[in-house]
Structure 1
Amino acid sequence: MYKINIIYFITLFSLFSSYSNAQIGNKAIDTEVRSTDKGSLFFNRNKTDRITLPFGYSDISKQGSIDAILSTIQNENKLKELHALNFEKVIKKDLILLPEEYDVFLPFSENVNEQYDRIKIASNFLSYGVHSLYFVAVYNTVRYAEPFIEKVYLISTKDSKLIDMKRIYLHHEGEMGFAHYSLFNITENYIISIQDYAFSEDPLTLRPLRKYQILPSGKFSRYYDNDGFYKNDEEQGMVKSHKKEGKWIEFKSNGHIDLHRYSEFTDPYTYLEAEYKNGSPVGTWRFYKLLQKYNEETGEPILNTRKKGRLIYTEIYSDGILKKREFRF
């Protein structure tokens, strides 16, 4: 199951895509666990189960060849460490919705093989000041006789209440052996690094390493190695104390755009004018249609042609919390 066929890999989806479209509308966002009579989220507080850092794939930022990357992905010792988190407690048909950069669902399908529990929370956890960080695993129970961990989320809590969530691990296998991976590492200073791998006939697409830190609020925020002006193909703005500060422009896939309903949107990308304070969203965010031209031969966007189209919707943040989303069409 963990063997890789490089020849037939293809990129299946963007990790920035939303897993579903949350119907937030004009309501305040609920960060509580909505439990059902079939189960609820369990938070272990036994000090003996705390994890000692560092933890994860420490060499993800040092790989220089495809062979080294494949060796890291297929490292059975690291997989054993992941399973050693003791994913014992089952989350039965609970839906967890958190207000992060992109909506994240822990979904259950009615067609899931109920002979195997799909979502489990680990008994091992991290302690960070007044916050506790827990690992939640989502198993692939559909396509394989022996289910395996397909996703791992790190969730931040305070007083047993959910604060934020970040997906840190992915092992996605599609048709014909196609695959997509994310690996993580957490340092002694609680800096979380995530590396995405998309295997294709290229044979490899390697996204830039992304880093996150935990804010005093318990939320996850992007971490940048250097202060000053930052710019890449997806975002640009000022960095202060390793966090986003002030006005930022971001070009990203947007899961709130209903492409079936609005035929004028040929792709889900938006031109976002955002604002941050100490790494947290503040004020009014404006999402415009991203206008850009594409290379006729490669299909890749021509970056210097990017500009904003008409306003699609706005979001209003207070103290880092999304309070209102309002569409303009």
Structure 2
Amino acid sequence: MPKINITYFTVLFFLFSCYSKAQTENKTISTEARSTDKGTPVFNTNKADCISLPFGYSDLSKQTTADAVLSVIQNENKLKEIKALRFETAVQKDFVQLPEEYDVFLPFNKNVNEKHDRIKIASDFLCYGDYSLYFMAVYNTVRYAEPFIEKIYLISTKNNKPIDMKRLYLHHEGEMGFASHTLFNIDKNYIISLQDYEFSESPFTLKPAQKYQILPSGKFARYFDKDGLYKNEDEQGMVKNHTKQGKWTEYKSNSSIDIQKYPEFTDPYTYLEAEYKNGLPFGTWKFYKLLQKYNEETGEPIINTRKKGKLIYTEVYQNGVLKKKEFQ
């Protein structure tokens, strides 16, 4: 998490704003889309189209170099397998919000900030007890002549109603050769493994892999192989029944911060005091400014210097759903 000066961050913010504006230009809604009440697409319910597991990219943990990762990302056979999910049903504008910040929780509401006919639901899906899990693709048609799948989300539904969603796949081309990728694998027990990769001036970053599970409620939650105390450079807390439980301390990038209102933020990271109940956000979350020192030669943060600064805002959760956000 290198230190970013204000000028550099301002440039990046400007480029991002321009890209977001391009993403939301108006275009005629595809007549192929047929929706039910409140814009929910007609999900395929034919059990014959349930795919078998495992599915996705196997052996993700073995790809540890830039060349190895690129060979997997550019594997045409795997791309054909993913496209074979038959992304056919276009999504109406009032189905779901897709924020550009890729690592935030994705709530359902009545706005879409992507082009309407660029978002499609696949006919093939996963069967999971009383739930059906559908793949939703977001195509990039703005910056490139040949459209390609930039993001794939997995949506959990029950009785044709969406419950929760999780981003599984990312192929994001940034400025100046920067790129971000996420590859996924879903094993036979429906445990979802995600591996993030970043190509930048570093030039290559392999982020820690994360796993997710489907809770009895149909919601997605982090999955941990072992119970007990969990700690890494980004978060620490207790794990019970393979999910987060109780109070956690997390150091996270944060898109909710208004840089103009809080100019002391030279990078968008916060010190978060969170709480979980059975893997889902619970109670009051407190977001503080993250204070830390940096290595003068490399610009990398010195982990053991991290501490919380002033309180910026709070969020209140009930049953995993955000009910209130208040800035100080």
Sort the TM-score into its range (normalised by shorter chain).
0.7 to 0.9
Which is richer in helix? 2
Shift of 1:93: 2.9
SS of 2:78's partner is helix
2:272 is matched by which residue type in structure 1? L
Q: Provide, for residues 67-100 of structure 1, a one-character-per-residue CA deviation record: whole Å limited to 9, x for no partner.
A: 3222211111110111000000111433514899
Q: Does 1:120 align with 2:120?
A: yes
Letter of the 1:304 counterpart? N
1:244-323 matches, within 5 Å, as 244-323=244-323
Q: What's the offset of the Cα at 1:195?
A: 0.6
Q: Aligned residue for 2:88?
A: 88
Structure 2 distance, partners of 1:40, 1:216, is 22
The alignment's TM-score, normalised by the length of structure 2, stands at: 0.82
2:215–2:221 CA contact under 8 A, matched in 1: yes
Query: Is the 2:64–2:206 contact (alpha carbons within 8 Å) kept by the matching residues of 1?
Result: no
- Given that 1:50 and 1:126 are in contact with CA atoms closer than 8 Å, whether structure 2 keeps it comes out as yes
Partner residue, 1:132: 132
**Amino acid of the structure 2 residue aligned with 1:142:** V
Q: Secondary structure at the match of 2:67?
A: helix
Query: Residue in 2 aligned with 1:187?
Result: 187
**Equivalent-residue separation in structure 2 for 1:301 and 1:149 (angstroms):** 34
Please state how far the C-alpha of 1:174 moved relative to its aligned partner: 2.8
The alpha-carbon deviation at position 150 of structure 1 amounts to 0.5
Query: What is the correspondence of 1:1-329 to structure 2 with a 5 Å cutoff?
Result: 40-97=40-97, 102-104=104-106, 107-108=112-113, 117-328=117-328
Q: Which amino acid aligns with 1:206?
A: L
Query: Once the 2 structures are TM-superposed, how far is the Cα of residue 161 of structure 1 from its aligned partner?
Result: 1.7
Post-superposition shift, 1:171?
0.8
Q: 1:103 to 1:127 in 2, by over 3 A?
A: same
Extract unaligned runs of 5+ from structure 2.
Answer: 1-11, 14-18, 21-34
| Residues 1:173 and 1:88: Cα distance change in structure 2 (over 3 Å) | same
**Deviation of residue 107 (structure 1)?**
4.4
> How far is the alpha carbon of 1:253 from its aligned partner?
0.8
Aligned-pair distance for 1:256? Answer: 1.0
Shift of 1:322: 1.7
TM-score relative to the length of structure 1:
0.82
SS in 2 for 1:61: helix
Aligned residues: 293
Q: Which moved more, 1:283-292 or 1:146-155?
A: 283-292
Conserved? CA contact 2:211–2:222, under 8 Å:
yes
- CA contact 1:314–1:325 (8 Å) conserved in 2: yes
Shift in Å, 1:242: 1.1
CA displacement 1:122-179 (0-9 Å, x = unmatched):
0111111211111110000012221000000111112222211111101112345432
- CA–CA distance in structure 1, aligned partners of residues 259 and 315 of structure 2: 20
Amino acid aligned to 2:196: D
Q: Which has the higher contact order (CA 8 A, sep 6+)?
A: 1
**Corresponding residue SS for 2:93:** coil
Counterpart secondary structure, 2:302: strand
CA 1:292–1:43: 2 relative to 1, 3 Å: same
CA distance in structure 2 between the partners assigned to 1:324 and 1:40 by the alignment: 25
> For residues 248 and 155 of structure 1, do their structure 2 counterparts lie closer, same or farther at Cα, with a shift above 3 Å needed?
same
Separation in 1, partners of 2:208, 2:75? 21
Bigger shift: 205-214 or 97-106?
97-106
Cα offsets for 1:284-304 (capped at 9, x unmatched): 111111111112222211111
Report the RMSD for the aligned CA atoms in angstroms.
Answer: 2.7
